[in-house]
Structure 1
Amino acid sequence: MSSNTVASRLAFAASAASFALLLTACGGDGSDGARTGPAGAAKDKSTTAGPSDDDAPPPPDAAALKGMLVKAEDVPDFLAPPGGAKETEEIFSRDAQTFFSSDKPACQALSGSMLATPQGAPRAAAGTVGVRGTGELGDKKPEKAAGLEDGLEKAFGAMADLRMEVVSLSSYEGDGAQSVIDGYKEAVRKCGKGFTIDATEDGKKALETVQSGGSGEAGQQDGPMPVVSLKPVPVDKGDDAAAWVLKVGEDALTLPINVVAVRKGPVVVTVSSTSFDFSGSGKPPLDVAQAQLDKLTGVS
């Protein structure tokens, strides 16, 4: 494999997963669900919304969702960061669906699925990021690289053993949660031939804040990312669910990202899983989704 090919694969993998990598490095175990924007002050809007039915309890607020997020001990080989970081709160905010856009309006609901960003108009939201495959890496002894090309190849090989899995929880009034699942299903039906994902101005600002660690000294994010294909995946969990695999990239170089979204009552659990082996052999992160469903206490 030529050095240009190896470098291109590494660059593409880093581009496709940069958002998840940044979140993992910074912590990112949740949001107060009420940030007004990347540079805005926190303003808790969740307490103003009432339940959709007089006899029904209100959907969980941001603090409750954050407390129910999966942790490292809940999923085998799931290395979740201890604690959160204020810089990452925007990524899992109730406004996160505005951070990404699609060139096809019908595919807008899927534009943030790489990061499992909450969709619709949630009352509150929270999220976390896990790295899997580190146990496999721990059993390997580092090998000395013969040169730049060999070093890049070994680096890519190590990266190929890792998976980044992003988990978000979002709660909704009324039939908002079901509307999100229905929207996913419709978008999956219409977008099988692909579309393009881009970050909006608000999204770029939020991601730059994460990248810079709050210092404001980060470069611009990469340009639009092509989704070359998308296929539905059968799933039967919760009250209703949708799952799909999308391949991002260009030409023969694509990276599969598996996403599953499950509704339980007024809460939507969304999990995206990115594997960097380029084989397309990744599977829907159903074990993570089930572990997260099991932690939704008091939700029905």
Structure 2
Amino acid sequence: MKRSSGVRLCATAAVSVLSLALVTGCSDGGSKNSAGSGGSKGSEPAAKALSAAELKKLIIAEGEVPGYKVGPVEGGIPADDKVKADDAKCDPLLDALTGVAPGEPAVHTSRMATENKKDPTDDATSLDDLADGKFEDALKKSMDLDVTVVTLASYDGDGAEKGLRAVSDAVKACSGGFSGVQDGEKGKFTKVAEEKSSGTGDESVAFTATNDTGDEGPLPLHAEVVRHGNTLATYSTINIGAMMNKKAYTVSAPVIKAQAAKLK
């Protein structure tokens, strides 16, 4: 087919939408108290991490996010030692983008929230059977939905504050972009920019990491990390259809709202 192999790869890679490998393949052809500007919301007593069972009760579940299906992360969250930036100071960004909990959590758990399709698609014809033009149109429709990975992590002491601070510091330090590897697959982001965060929790930081080197144009990934006491909620969202349509998108607000409500 004449269309860039990166587009077709995007369609088949959707089950691991937040992997650095996806970004590599496709590129072939403020808050109530923002960690980026305000720091911690006062001193708090040393805290003890939640148990694994307690944390699992707090993460979003099916039926709790209107307009979204919630379930396990397809393909799973990569092991921390399998996700590395070429420059160590950028590791926290790559962790957040791939659903790895920042810092050194005592326990963590993850879910994937997938937006319901806005328009019905023709199930009688697979994307691979379509001609180039129709393939692209069908792909844009079928992939124009937000997919968000949510990771909750609980920390002892001030571990949550340190984890959030590491992400905030990395947004500034790595604004010019960075390269990294996940499970042996190399990828590159050409720029990182802080975004206005949701304003939930005690403090938060949001950012976009963009790859702007390929024929497909800018390919942005969006992430936000929010501290609720000694728990960090990390959100990472991708919308492949929006990328292909050059349409702006952000971390899914309904997902953040639903998760924040469970952490109050």
Give the alignment's TM-score, normalised by structure 2: 0.77
The equivalent residue for 2:188 is 226
Q: Greater helix percent: which structure?
A: 1
* 1:132-281 map, 5 Å: 132-134=115-117, 136-138=118-120, 140-141=121-122, 147-199=130-182, 204=183, 223-235=185-197, 236-248=199-211, 250-253=213-216, 254-276=218-240, 277-278=242-243, 279-281=246-248
Higher RCO (Cα < 8 Å, 6 or more apart): 2
Q: Distance in 2 between matches of 1:102 and 1:116?
A: 15
Please tell me whether the aligned partners of residues 259 and 284 of structure 1 are also in contact (alpha carbons under 8 angstroms).
yes
- Tell me the distance in 1 between the aligned counterparts of 2:205 and 2:103: 15
Q: Distance in 2 between matches of 1:115 and 1:123?
A: 19
- In structure 2, runs of 5+ residues without a counterpart are 20-44
1:179, 1:77 → 2: CA distance?
34
1:64 aligned onto 2:67: no
Contact 1:196–1:225 (CA under 8 A) maintained in structure 2:
yes
Give the partner amino acid of 1:296.
Answer: L
Partners in 1 of 2:145 and 2:200 — Cα distance?
A: 26
Query: 2:255 matched to which residue of 1?
Result: 288
Percent identity between the two aligned chains: 22
Task: Determine whether 1:105 maps to 2:68.
Answer: no
- SS of 1:224's equivalent in the other structure is strand
Question: Residue 49 of structure 1 corresponds to which residue in structure 2?
Answer: none
Unpaired runs of 5+ in structure 1?
Answer: 23-51, 205-220
**Inter-partner Cα distance in structure 2 for 1:13 and 1:181:** 32
SS at 1:73's partner residue?
Answer: coil
- The root-mean-square deviation of aligned C-alpha atoms, in Å, is 2.8
Q: Distance in 1 between matches of 2:73 and 2:100?
A: 17
Question: Match of 1:43?
Answer: none
Q: Hey, what does 2:38 align to over in structure 1? A: none
C-alpha distance 101-260 of structure 1, shift in aligned 2 (>3 A): same
Confirm or deny: 8 A CA contact 1:6 1:152 kept in the other structure.
no
